[in-house]
Structure 1
């Protein structure tokens, strides 16, 4: 079994674009919403803001440009934008099931003799 994982992202629908950030720890994020002393680094996956070009949370993820951040949030400072997305956005959870299958076909009974 390989690759079972859960992905959590926060989606913010802006006036021009949809913005997304990924988080690692949903429980810590929920705690942060009521206790802002918790460092963002404890639950934010990467300090990178993605834009989906009005395709919602499921669209193609491109890095948001400084201009896009400036026009939507009034700043291009990543920390401030991430905080705004975390405060105003919606959590989207998706799980990726485990993949099963042969791990190494060159060994064992699967090899034709």
Structure 2
């Protein structure tokens, strides 16, 4: 695999007024959790943050969801409960993050004389 290249999985939930995204690291554990909720969320959830995309689907700009936004959509601002609902009702989407470009170590290579 090239430097920096990775597969990224996000679970997208289309709410009434906003789109929500939660990032998942381990898709296999996520799939196990869907049928057996005894699998700890910490085993597969990337970060315990909920993002909004401003009604632009899973591809929009990601901003951390405000507690008021969570309250309006889910009836609670308890992030664990909201993450569980998004993971249960949302749609998982995998995408490949492109490899990084540029020098590996800029201190090595051609030097210019001053």
TM-score, normalisation: structure 1:
0.89
Instruction: Give matches, 1:31-110, under 5 Å.
Output: 31-99=32-100, 102-104=103-105, 107-108=108-109
Structure 1: gaps spanning 5 or more residues:
none
> Which runs of structure 1 show a deviation greater than 6 angstroms over 4 or more consecutive aligned residues?
none
Q: 1:112 to 1:63 in 2, by over 3 A?
A: closer
The size of the alignment, in residue pairs, is: 112
Show structure 2 runs of 5+ residues with no match. none
Q: Assess, with a 3 A threshold, how the Cα gap between structure 1 residues 5 and 76 changes in structure 2: closer, same or farther.
A: same
Correspondence for 2:8: 7
Once the 2 structures are TM-superposed, how far is the Cα of residue 105 of structure 1 from its aligned partner? 5.5
3-state secondary structure, aligned to 2:76? coil
CA deviations on 1:56-108 (whole Å, 9 max, x unpaired) are 00101111011110110011100100000000000011112334554346545
Q: TM-score, normalized by length of structure 2?
A: 0.88
Q: Aligned equivalents of 2:89 and 2:43: distance in 1?
A: 19
Cα RMSD between the aligned structures? 1.7
User: 1:24 touches 1:45 (CA, 8 Å); kept in 2?
Assistant: yes
